[in-house]
Amino acid sequence: MRAVVYEGERRVAVREVEDAVVEEETDALVRITSSALCGTDLHMYDGRTGAEPGLVLGHEPLGVVEATGSAVTSVRPGDRVVLPTHLYCGTCPHCAQGLTAACSRVRPGGFGAAYGYAGMGPYRGAQAELLRVPFADANCVPLPGEPGDRFEDAFVLLADAFVTGWHATELAGVGPGDSVAVFGAGTVGLLAAHSALLRGAGEVYVVDHVPARLAVAAEFGAVAVDFTAGDPVEQIRVHRRARGLPPGEAGTGGVDRGIDAVGFQARDRADPAHENPAQVVDDLARLVNPTGSLGIAGVYAAKDLHPAAPAGHRDGSLRVPWAQLFDKGVRVGFGRTHDRRYTRLLRDLILDGRAHPERVVTHHGTLDDAPDFYATFDRREDGMVKAVLRP
Ligand SMILES: NC(=O)c1ccc[n+]([C@@H]2O[C@H](COP(=O)([O-])OP(=O)(O)OC[C@H]3O[C@@H](n4cnc5c(N)ncnc54)[C@H](O)[C@@H]3O)[C@@H](O)[C@H]2O)c1
Ligand SMILES: [Zn+2]
Ligand SMILES: [Zn+2]
C-alpha cells in the first residue's frame, strides 16, 4: 500500500510500505477514503517529538471496512466508519467510564495510544490506503451514507478535530451565556469556538495572527482578535467594556472560560518569529475572570527534542503564573480528548444540520500532495486551515 512516511525534520514522502492486514481476531482492516493533516502532525514534522524516520503518519481516518477478524461482531465489510484518533480497548476501567484517551490496555507500558504518533504506541498511521484497527468493535464508529457524499469532510473531523474542539469546551466547562476566549484559530480552536456557540455561549473570542484563519472564526460567529494588533487580553477587555458591562460587574471584564488550542509551539507575541511555550497560558491566566475555568487542549510534549527548543520546556516543564490562578480560584482541565464520549453526539449534530465543522476544510488532495501540504501547513500559508487527503 502507499502511505505518507516521516523521513526527518520537515521531510515527508509517499512510499510503498507493507500492507496493513488483520493481525488479531479483534481487528478490522479499513480502506481509507479521507485522512486529514493535524497540528499534532506538525509537532512531529518539525522534529520536536522524536518521531523515527519510517513512521507512517496520520491519525484522522475515515473509511470503509475492508475485512474483519473472526471475533468482530459490530461491523462488516462495506460499512462506513470513522476511527477515533486515540484508539482504546473499550473494556478497561478508564474505557468503561468513557475516558478512552487513558485506556490502560492499549499501549504496553503506558496508557492511551494513537495511530501514527511518536511515543503513543506501535500503531501505524492513517495517511495511507489501508489501516489496521485494533479492538474494532470499540473503535469503529458507524456512519450513514456513502464515501464522497456531502458529509465526507464533516465526518473525517469526527476522528479528532471536532471531538477535540468539543473536549476543550468540556475541560473549560463552557455553558449557556458564558464569555469564552479561544487561543489558536487552527482547526481545533475554530471547532472549539463552534462547539462553544453550539453549547449556548454568549460571546466567543478567537485569538490568532493568521488573517485567513481569523476570517473562518468570524464565519462561525466568533469575534476575531489579531494578536499582532496589540495585547489580546486588553483587546478582549476593551470589546467587553464596549458592550456595556452593568454596574458592579466590572470585575467580570475578562472571560468566564478560556481555551488553549495552541500548545507548546505557541508564538511569542513580542517576537512572533520565536516560540514561547508559556505565552498562551500566561495570557489566559491574566484574562480569565475570578472563579473562571480553563481548558488546555493544545499539546504540551513530554520532551522537546529539537536543538532550538525554547529553554524551560525541553523536559516538558513550564513556568506558569500559579499564584495568579490560585488567587482567582481558577479551575484548569488538561489533556487528550476522550473521543468516544463525543463522536455519536457530534455525528448526530452534523446529521441534524446543526453543526458544520466542514467549514474549516480548505484543501483536498491525494496522498501525492502530502509533501506540499505539510510544507504549506507548517508555514500556515495559502489560507490552509485543514487539509484532507483522499487516497
Ligand atoms: N488534546 C487533544 O486531544 C488534541 C487533539 C488534536 C490536536 N491537539 C493539539 O491542539 C493544538 C492545535 O491543533 P491545530 O490542528 O488546530 O493546529 P494548528 O497548528 O493548525 O493551529 C495552531 C494555531 O495557533 C496559532 N498560534 C500560535 N501562537 C499563538 C499565540 N501565542 N496566541 C494565539 N494563537 C497562536 C497559530 O497561528 C495557529 O493558527 C496542537 O497543539 C495540537 O497538537 C490536541
Ligand atoms: Zn489530529
Ligand atoms: Zn481501555
Domain range summary for the chain, segments of one domain joined by +: 2-160+338-389, 164-334
Ligand 1 pocket at CB < 6 A: 38-40, 42-43, 160, 164, 183-189, 207-210, 213, 227, 261-263, 266-267, 269, 279-280, 297-299, 336-337, 380
pLDDT, tens digit, 9 for 90 and up, residues 256-306: 999 999 999 999 999 999 999 999 999 999 999 999 999 999 999 888 877
- Among protein residues, the one with the nearest Cα to ligand 1's atom 17 is 39
pLDDT grade for 310, boundaries at 50, 70 and 90: confident
pLDDT value at position 92? Answer: 96
Q: Is residue 354 very low, low, confident or very high in pLDDT (cuts 50, 70, 90)? A: very high
C-alpha cell at 293: 475555568
Q: What CA–CA distance (Å, rounded) separates 267 from 237?
A: 21
Q: Residue with the nearest Cα to atom 26 of ligand 1?
A: 184
Q: What is the mean predicted confidence (pLDDT) over 68-79?
A: 98
User: Tell me, which fold does domain 2-160+338-389 have in CATH?
Assistant: Quinone Oxidoreductase; Chain A, domain 1 (3.90.180)
**Residues 1-37: pLDDT tens digits?**
999 999 999 999 999 999 999 999 999 999 999 999 9
The band of 83, judged by pLDDT with boundaries at 50, 70 and 90, is very high
Q: Looking at ligand 1, which atom is closest to the CA of residue 263?
A: 41
Backbone torsion region of residue 278, taken as left when φ is above 0, otherwise alpha when ψ lies between -120 and 50, otherwise beta: alpha
Can 2-160+338-389 and 164-334 be said to share one CATH topology? no
Distance between Cα 238 and ligand 2 center (Å): 34
Residue 252 pLDDT: 82
Question: Mind listing the pLDDT tens digit for each residue in 217-252?
Answer: 999 999 999 999 999 999 999 999 998 888 788 778
Residues 6+ apart with CB under 8 A from 285: 294, 320, 321, 324, 325, 328, 330
Which CATH number does 164-334 carry? 3.40.50.720
pTM value is 0.97
Q: For the segment 129-186, what is each residue's pLDDT rounded down to a tens digit? A: 999 999 999 999 999 999 999 999 999 999 999 999 999 999 999 999 999 999 999 9
E runs forming strands in 184-325: 203-208, 223-226, 255-260, 288-296
* Predicted local confidence at residue 315, as pLDDT: 86
Q: What separation in Å is there between the alpha carbon of 263 and the centre of ligand 1?
A: 6
